Amino acid sequence: MKKSVCQAAPRREFLKNAAGATAAAVLAGTVVPRVHAAEDNTIRLALIGCGGRGSGAVGNALSVPGENVKLVAMADVFEDKLNISHKSLSKQFADRIDVPAERQFIGFDAYRKAIDCLRPGDVALLTTHAAFRPTHLEYAVEKGVHVFMEKNFAPDPAGLKQILRAGEAAERKNLKIAAGLMCRHSTARQALIEKIRGGELGEVLLTRAYRMGGGAAMSPFPKNENELLWQIRRAYHFLWASAGYFLEMMIHQIDECCWIKDAWPTAAHGVGGRCADSTDCSRNLDSYSIEYMFPDGSQALVTGRYLPNCFNDFATYVQGSKRAAQFSGNVHAPTVQIYKDRRVANDNIAWKPESEKVNPWQAEWNVLLEAIRNDRPHNESRRAAMANYAALMGRAAVHSGKIVTWDQITESNFSFCPNVAELTADSPAPVRADANGRYSAPVPGKWTEV
């Protein structure tokens, strides 16, 4: 056997255009500081979570201009996912995928064995679902390696406290942490932020963010399978595993709203639900509408709806006292523009930024590896956790039917699965299906997650 459990064995389309990303400008500087101990000047990667996001992140890491980077270890709970990822990455990146069978690990403890293959100065890619991110981050920091961690970062407040503690420990160790809210590295959005801070829109009164599409319902649990593993394969449908479909999709735009305001919200309330004829067996709602309140009295309206045959939108807008702007476009496209006045229309555009030379997914990796090579501060863990808190606050407001404040969400110790770090393939699932294979969805007025 090449691997075994006992031996620990749409962010972006999988590796789409990864090779084309190398057209980015070459990173400045080649001096290797003492934080990178590799004598051969190679930064080694360990991939923890071998789905499309993780594989895409490896593609970005290997496409940083002028860098010497190799993938040397892989880990996943599912062998088939690891095999698919390894085959695809090997085909595209050839000898930069140096992951023989003895460094391919399967199981719930596989992350440890993959990270143990790294040296100080190397990078662990934490790209599993959010339930496991805090545990994996703590171990990577304990082992003294740098981290790239995908969004979202924890499904509940207790997990975010772990993220914050690990981030503080990384700061003390001079470790670099990049967080997968890639839009913060968009040059087009950065240019608009400068204009907003300079007063070109006037006072920012309202931001509006939409992500509405066809969605996906889940079939009943078939009863004859391992329920825990079945849920992890369908993690978007379970709050404990991924934080749920809404938060998984909308954390980017919630973070954009906070970035625009340069503040975290003080409170949130919202409404949501399911269609009357819904057959969805998951824990998700299909509609979320949240109003966030900010310290200056302004609001952000965030709408997620996942139903077929309806009007769809995927964009973020800003309403200022002088002018309006679009901050983000379809599938995180850099559709960035300022309008002549407060009317949002294509025939009313006054300004657009220069076209982006590097896409944000690639840019975040360029910045991380430049920080490692030149020993520059780079720790996005706290900002990532704060954005995640804002997202959890909005989700909790909809699920509970109550106003949820910033203090409530950041002081909460609520956890969907307190024993997540001890899970094995033989563990009972954190939630159990009913006799019909359905899982209970949040009921406002009765539900608690704060």
Beta strands 349-351 and 337-339 are antiparallel
Sequence-ordered list of residues with C-beta below 8 angstroms from that of 94, at least 6 positions apart, any chain: none
Contact 283, 218 (CB under 8 A): no
pLDDT tens, 13-38? 444 443 333 333 333 333 333 344 34
Residue 168 sits in the same domain as residue 213: no
Residue 39 pLDDT: 57
Residue 27 sits in the same domain as residue 130: yes
Residue of 402, 152, 415 whose CA lies nearest to 290: 402
Residue 412, in any domain of the structure: no
Residue 126 clears pLDDT 50, i.e. is over it: yes
Residue of 332, 137, 135 whose CA lies nearest to 253: 332
Average pLDDT on 297-312 reads 96
Residue 276, in any domain of the structure: yes
pLDDT tens, 64-82? 999 999 999 999 999 999 9
The conformation of residue 379, written as its DSSP 8-state character, comes to B
Q: How many CB atoms lie within 10 A of CB 41?
A: 12
Instruction: Among 5-9, 89-93, 214-218, name the one with the lowest average pLDDT.
Output: 5-9
Confidence band for 326, pLDDT divided at 50, 70 and 90: very high
DSSP code string of 325-358: EEEE-GGG----EEESSS---GGGEEE-PPPPSS
Residue 3 clears pLDDT 80, i.e. is over it: no
Distance in angstroms (rounded) separating the CA atoms of residues 65 and 276: 52
Strands (E), 100-252: 104-106, 123-126, 146-149, 177-179, 204-213
Residue 143 sits in the same domain as residue 200: no
pLDDT tens, 142-198? 999 999 999 999 999 999 999 999 999 999 999 999 999 999 999 999 999 999 999
Residue 368 sits in the same domain as residue 331: no
The residue segments making up the domain with residue 32 are 19-183+361-379
Residue 430, in any domain of the structure: no
Distance in angstroms (rounded) separating the CA atoms of residues 314 and 210: 5
Q: How many CB atoms lie within 10 A of CB 313?
A: 15
Residue 80 Rama label (left phi>0; alpha psi -120 to 50; beta): alpha
The position carrying tokens 């067996």 is 281
Residue 251 sits in the same domain as residue 215: yes
pLDDT tens, 247-270? 999 999 999 999 999 999 999 999
Contact 104, 6 (CB under 8 A): no
Residue 215 pLDDT: 87
Residue 246 pLDDT: 96
Average pLDDT on 113-117 reads 98
Confidence band for 40, pLDDT divided at 50, 70 and 90: confident
Element housing 290 (H / E): strand 287-293
Residue 428, in any domain of the structure: no
Residue 320, in any domain of the structure: yes
Distance in angstroms (rounded) separating the CA atoms of residues 72 and 97: 7
CATH number at residue 323: 3.30.360.10
Residue 112, in any domain of the structure: yes
Q: Rounded mean pLDDT of the chain?
A: 92
Sequence-ordered list of residues with C-beta below 8 angstroms from that of 362, at least 6 positions apart, any chain: 21, 24, 60, 63, 64
The tokens describing 10, both together, are: 């749409």
pLDDT tens, 331-388? 999 999 999 999 999 999 999 999 999 999 999 999 999 999 999 999 999 999 999 9
**Beta-bridge partner residues of 61:** none
Average pLDDT on 48-54 reads 97
Residue 422, in any domain of the structure: no
Confidence band for 234, pLDDT divided at 50, 70 and 90: very high
The tokens describing 195, both together, are: 């204009």
Distance in angstroms (rounded) separating the CA atoms of residues 318 and 204: 7
Contact 205, 244 (CB under 8 A): no
Average pLDDT on 190-214 reads 97
Residue 138 sits in the same domain as residue 40: yes
Helix 381-400 to helix 245-261 angle, to the nearest 10 degrees?
120
CATH number at residue 373: 3.40.50.720
Residue 400 clears pLDDT 50, i.e. is over it: yes
pTM of this structure:
0.92
Q: How many CB atoms lie within 10 A of CB 79?
A: 19
Contact 54, 150 (CB under 8 A): yes
Residue 147 sits in the same domain as residue 245: no
Residue 399, SS3 per DSSP: helix
Residue 162 sits in the same domain as residue 241: no
Residue 405 pLDDT: 98
Residue 417 pLDDT: 98
Contact 336, 356 (CB under 8 A): no
Contact 96, 71 (CB under 8 A): yes
Average pLDDT on 413-425 reads 98
Give, in order, the Cα–Cα distances in Å from 265 to each of 93, 276, 284, 395: 43, 32, 24, 13
Residue 13 pLDDT: 45
The position carrying tokens 């190799």 is 70
Distance in angstroms (rounded) separating the CA atoms of residues 152 and 391: 10
| Number of domains within the chain | 2
The tokens describing 447, both together, are: 């539900």
Residue 154 sits in the same domain as residue 223: no
Residue of 78, 67, 71 whose CA lies nearest to 56: 71
Residue 260 sits in the same domain as residue 318: yes
Residue 1 clears pLDDT 70, i.e. is over it: no
The tokens describing 318, both together, are: 């800003």
Contact 110, 75 (CB under 8 A): yes
Residue 108 sits in the same domain as residue 121: yes
Residue 144 sits in the same domain as residue 259: no
Backbone angles phi, psi at 32, to 5 degrees: -95, 110
The position carrying tokens 């003895």 is 102
Residue 283 clears pLDDT 80, i.e. is over it: yes
The tokens describing 333, both together, are: 């496209």
Residue 419, in any domain of the structure: no
